[in-house]
Amino acid sequence: MGSLTSSPALLDAWFAVARSVEVSHASAHPVRLLERELVLWRGPDGAVVATADRCPHREAPLSAGTVEGGCLTCSYHGWTFAAGGRCVRVPSNPDSVPPPPRAHLAVHHCTERYGLVWVCLGDPADDVPCIAQEGDPSFRRINTPVEPWRTSATRMVDNFLDISHFPYVHTGTFGRAQDTLVAKIDIVELDGGWTGYRYDVLAGNEAGALASGQDGDVVERSMTTGFRLPFHVRSTIRYATGLEHVLLLLSTPVDDVTSLFTFVVWRNDDFAVSAEEVIRFDLAIGAEDKRMLELVPGLLPLDQTTLVSVQADRCSVEWRRRLVALLGGVTDGTSQALV
């Protein structure tokens, strides 16, 4: 299989690369996306600038430079770059001589949404995924760290769309109470452009009472899980009490076998439980997935014959079928036969 992260179609997708709070007004922030080194900094208007982490003069990493007043100054010969990546100063030249045209940095599409910095290296084919609860005053948003996982983004999405691993991987959090049998999955178009399925589960509650807002050994969850291409997943949880807990699970490919993971939570609770307590449970669940996925080598095969899939994998199979089409691969337009 060729490199996934060199696929041209991924250039036109948005990826979350950092928390907004990680990109300060006082320093440059290096990130790696699709095998490219990038640097982020805040320009004079506070907007994040994203560009290659390479000075056009002698290729020094710009992330080693300094930021002041929205201008990034390279640490090697002091060239200074301002809004939109414009080179505004070459100290070795008289100020009366404008910088050469090719000294300006080519900047990437960059936006901030949901407390995250999103970058698109090409021309955006779509918008950043829509979360209806953002801006709804009855919901609060909780962000979590952006952390590297030693696994492919494809394996992460496959995992996030899958509920049959709950009773095995998530025994330390909520999975022990779940029936191993998975009810028939019907793929539907959910709200907000998400494609996925609805299901009900019994979740172990011993470690999760703060997250569920209920006592008792088990709680009933009414859930949806869906995807947006290429690698965004949304899970919604509704409890009988009316409490809703929405998770945006984001997988950002650094290279074929390294990814960034972060998730964002929206909840319509009464804020009585601290954000730290709310996400402690979800972070523990994520750590269980990470531990499992880091044991599985390489990329997820995207063709429909290498892996054996069953009914419980229907959503992942549908996501892979659409991903292959997006990546320009051959697809016959039918789902893999499920055994």
Please, which residue, 76 or 199, has the CB nearer to Fe ion? 199
Site string for ligand FES, 47-76 (x = CB under 6 A): --------x-xx-x-------------x-x
Tell me the number of residues near ligand FES by CB under 6 A.
9
The answer to whether residue 318 forms part of the interface with Fe ion (CB under 5 A) is: no
Q: State which amino acid sits at residue 154.
A: T
C-beta atoms surrounding 144 within 10 Å: 18
Lookup result for tokens 């991987």: 169
Please, which residue, 58 or 150, has the CB nearer to ligand FES? 58
Longest pairwise C-alpha distance within the chain:
74
- Select the residue interacting with ligand FES from 14, 15, 79, 263 (CB under 6 A): 79
User: Residue 207 binds which one of Fe ion, ligand FES, none, with CB within 5 to 8 A depending on kind?
Assistant: none
Tokens of 43: 């320009």
Site string for Fe ion, 208-247 (x = CB under 5 A): ----------------------------------------
- Residue 23 contacts by C-beta under 8 Å, 6 or more apart in sequence? 29, 40, 41, 42, 48, 117
| CA distance linking residue 18 with residue 40, whole number of Å | 9
The answer to whether residue 77 forms part of the interface with ligand FES (CB under 6 A) is: yes
Tokens of 128: 């950043």
State the nearest-atom distance from the C-beta of 58 to ligand FES, in Å: 4
Alpha helices in the chain (DSSP H): 153-160, 166-169, 209-212, 275-293, 314-326
State the nearest-atom distance from the C-beta of 167 to Fe ion, in Å: 11
| CA distance linking residue 306 with residue 262, whole number of Å | 29
Q: State which amino acid sits at residue 283.
A: L
User: Residue 289 binds which one of Fe ion, ligand FES, none, with CB within 5 to 8 A depending on kind?
Assistant: Fe ion
The answer to whether residue 289 forms part of the interface with Fe ion (CB under 5 A) is: yes
Residues lying near ligand FES in the complex (CB under 6 A): 55, 57-58, 60, 74, 76-79
Residues lying near Fe ion in the complex (CB under 5 A): 289
